[in-house]
Amino acid sequence: MKTLEALIFDVDGTLAETERDGHRVAFNQAFQEFDLPWHWPVGLYGQLLRVAGGKERIRYYMDRYQPKFQLQADTDELVVALHQAKARHFQALVESNVIPLRPGVRRLIEAARKEGVRLAIATTSAKDSVIPLLEHLLGPESPTWFEVIAAGDMVPTKKPAPDIYNLVVNAMDLNPATCLVIEDSPQGLEAAIAAGLPTVVTVNDYTRSYALPGARLVISHLGEPSLPFEVLWGKANNAYYFSLDLAQAILPS
Q: Which of 12, 173, 184, 205 is catalytic?
A: 12
Distance CA(212)–CA(203), nearest Å, equals: 10
Distance CA(196)–CA(214), nearest Å, equals: 11
**Cβ-proximal residues to 251 (8 Å cutoff; 6+ apart), any chain:** 1, 2, 4, 177, 178, 180, 198, 216
Q: Which H or E run contains 8? A: strand 6-9
Q: Is 10 a catalytic residue?
A: yes
Residue 118: phi and psi, rounded to 5, are -70, 150
The burial class, CB within 10 Å (0-12 / 13-18 / 19+), for 33 is middle
**Cβ-proximal residues to 124 (8 Å cutoff; 6+ apart), any chain:** 12, 52, 53, 151, 152, 158, 159, 164
Q: Which H or E run contains 118? A: strand 118-122
Q: Which of 10, 163, 173, 245 is catalytic?
A: 10
Q: Is 128 a catalytic residue?
A: no
- The single-letter code of the amino acid at 79 is V
Residues with catalytic roles: 10, 12
